Structure 1
Amino acid sequence: MSSVTLLESYVHAELRRQEQAERHAALIFDYTPSQSTERLEYQATRQASMRAAEKPLQTQLSSEEQAERQRALRATETLLQTQIRLDVQAERQVNLRATETPYQMQHRLDEQDEQQRALRATETPLQTQLYLEEEYHAQPQRDSCRYQPQGCLKNLRSELMVDHEPSCEYQPTTCPLANHPQCPWGGKLRNLDRHLREAHDDVIVPGAERCHLVEVHKVRANKSVCFVQETQEKLYVISVHCKGRLLMCTIQVVPMNPPERVGSLMGALEVVGVDGKPHGWMGKIRSLHDPVESLWDQGHCLRVDPNIIGACSRSTIRLHALVMLQTPCNRGRKRRKVARPSAKRRIASRT
């Protein structure tokens, strides 16, 4: 076909289009206002329906194109680029979750649950077994407490169980007054408070500050002597053990049943030699869970050398015990100095 023929066909098509446009304009000019409104509404409805029909297809095509583009990019990216992309995605997820409302969070969790259920519904029995095994290995291993036969129902992770077992209230224990007076009681640590109040109420001395008479020959003969002191409805065991030529003095709090959460317990132990020189210790009161040997090793005790304070084997030492309770609301405040017992009450006597 020659160029002249193409030009003639183009001119005829243009003339035909102009005639159609003029005829259409004449028709629109002859429309009444109601007909014009109906025509415009019909055109708007038709365009909306056409766009609604085209939108899913366009969305699907655009999402498929984006996915194909993402796959092509990921196939060519380096390890560093992959790590950067994952870090950016993780940071974006954190930012989104930090700003989402409770409703959005619930909606997101519901969508995740729905996706999990959809995956579970289509997986094979082998895939289900593999999924359960992965979940089992992903969960941290839990151990039972060694005092489970005594009634402890704790089931914790290994690193938490290491901290729980030394302070478990179901661990077996004996009465601290086994030597003075004789007491064969043995049971759970959680029941020790009730036992002391029921069986040894006559030896419990009240008060936050008390003076206990320690006979050196009894300590050396029995290897230990214990006293029970009560203040603010809590019992404290003051123990004096013989370790070689030294006397190891400790103060421990008896756990209550049910366990009670209180502030820091501070205590002080002091003896005074014949020369009037005090020998004392002040620190945090430990629980009766802790063995006295660990308190000796960690320095949570008062070491007394009878020879240094001028006490012989037949001497009686005055041991002053003081309990101070620091409540949680007072931890940030400056602690006032506690006055020491008067010198008259701190003088050691020898028999």
Structure 2
Amino acid sequence: MYVSPDLNKGKSLTIAVTGLNANDNPGPGLAVIRALRAGFGEGLRIIGLAYETLEPAIYLRDQVDKTYRLPYPTAGTGALKIRLQQIQDIERIDVLIPNFDAELYNFIKIEQALLQMGIHTFLPSHQQLAQRDKVNLSEFGKKHQFNVPADEVVFTASEIDQVAHKFGFPLMVKGKFYEAYTTLNIADAYKAFHKLQARWGLPIILQKFIKGTEINIAGLGDGKGNAISVIPMRKLYITEKGKAWAGITIEDEKLISLAKDFVKATEWRGGFELEIMMDDNGSLYIMEVNPRFPAWVYLTAAAGQNQPKALVDLALGNPVEEMKDYKSGKMFIRYAWDNIVDVEEFQKLSAFGEL
């Protein structure tokens, strides 16, 4: 029978993390790793799991101890399971934290197989994953009495005119996995549709625009209807892709209650992010529900609630109590810098699938 590691007795903990990209649309992986290192300190080994050879965190040797390439999610669960067994035979991974929406379905499907290998996870169910999907979000809001902007799911560009006439402009055009554009006219809407279709496939979601203040909430559910941690963050600087490049933790009981209501309604298991719009009247609209930690999750650790560390404890069956206190006014400001590496490292990962 597999025994969970006990850091107090000197046994090192090995955690595998995906989502190592860190471009202008960053994955959560590096932020998760930084939070884990802050939470566990010495005796922690981080295994990076990458899909592309140019995911920047691969080459940050002070953060990632070793990296292995994974087959793309489209290869299916069989290929993923075989590859993870190969890695597990070498690394003896204790906990695995997936950080991409598109890979979660496969990881959830092999969750029990991973546990038999000795790899613990703490993931939502397929049902939970589906009900918060962008294409189902409007219906989800009606069912649980959450404010969700009206939307239409479209499969052809010819449907845009009718929806635009119904909702007016500005109009939100969203990809089924990632990215969203605020369009101001029909030409912009068509352009955004084709761009998102080429990148993420169909369908595309057309959503009514809500004017207000953008707020994100990072949370962690225990799978039994309880919110272990909730941290609201107001965006201070937003990129062209709508991503927060700077933000600040805020204290607002309405936001915390909304996140707790979401966890209670779904019995959410694992990390999540609520993308919220607060209109001029103070009403809160759920724009999206992301089924994993956000790229700014390191801010939760800095504010006093280390969500990635708590998730690892939940995955290992360790007792975790609800975290209530955090410091408001904590800011993050993202930045870009050039990390210099030798081409031999890139070639080794490309040729052998590990670095």
Q: TM-score, with normalisation over the residues of structure 2?
A: 0.22
Which is helix-richer, 1 or 2?
1
Q: TM-score, with normalisation over the residues of structure 1?
A: 0.22
**Bigger radius of gyration among the two:** 1
Which protein, 1 or 2, shows the higher relative CO under an 8 Å CA cutoff with sep ≥ 6?
Answer: 2
